[in-house]
């Protein structure tokens, strides 16, 4: 796990964060978008599968919440980028229905 501190001004209303055990962390929506961006940046490397599993896990976690977030393209620009969307859905078709249930049509 990599932990990186961010400047105080980064933690504003534009970033989905949660406080867990006194530590501010990215919320699931922004975490999903970060993993999508990393999946594109590192596609073809050994850890691609791990990142894909993380994306699916985050989607399942979102759907398990009492109020599952409805994703919108402007909130997850890496997810809706065709460099992620098209190859990811082709390679991991199980994610399609999960994205749909979270508000992003396939």
What whole-number percentage of the chain has pLDDT above 90?
A: 45
Output 21 or 42, whichever has higher pLDDT.
Answer: 42
Query: How far, in whole angstroms, is CA 67 from its chain's centroid?
Result: 17
User: Is position 20 within any domain?
Assistant: no
- Domain range for 88: 27-101
The domain tally of the chain equals 1
Query: What pLDDT is recorded for position 6?
Result: 47
The values of phi and psi at residue 44, to 5°, are 90, -5
User: Is position 97 within any domain?
Assistant: yes
Query: What pLDDT is recorded for position 20?
Result: 65
The values of phi and psi at residue 19, to 5°, are -105, 120
User: Is position 47 within any domain?
Assistant: yes
Mean pLDDT of 74-101: 94
Query: What pLDDT is recorded for position 93?
Result: 94
Cβ(29)–Cβ(65) below 8 Å:
no
Residue 25: closest CA among 38, 15, 13: 15
Mean pLDDT of 48-54: 89
User: Is position 9 within any domain?
Assistant: no
User: Is position 81 within any domain?
Assistant: yes
Mean pLDDT of 69-90: 93
Q: Which of 12-16, 62-66, 80-84 bottoms out in mean pLDDT, i.e. has the lowest? A: 12-16
User: Is position 18 within any domain?
Assistant: no
Q: Which of 13-17, 30-34, 73-77 bottoms out in mean pLDDT, i.e. has the lowest? A: 13-17
3-state secondary structure the chain: CCCCCCCHHHCCCCCCEEEECCEEEECHHHHHHHHHHHHHHCCCCCCHHHHHHHHHHHHHHHHCCCCCCCCCCCCCHHHHCHHHHHHHHHHCCCHHHHHHHCCCCC
């Amino acid at each position: 796990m990599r932990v990186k501190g961010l400047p105080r001004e980064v933690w504003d209303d534009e970033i989905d964060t949660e406080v867990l055990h006194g530590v501010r962390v990215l919320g699931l929506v922004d975490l999903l978008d970060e993993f999508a961006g990393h999946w594109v940046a590192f596609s073809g490397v050994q850890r691609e599968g791990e990142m894909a599993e993380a994306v699916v896990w985050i989607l399942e976690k979102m759907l398990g919440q009492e109020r599952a977030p409805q994703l919108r393209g402007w909130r997850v620009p890496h997810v809706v980028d065709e460099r992620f969307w098209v190859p990811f859905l082709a390679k991991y078709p199980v994610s399609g229905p999960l994205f749909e249930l979270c508000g992003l049509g396939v």
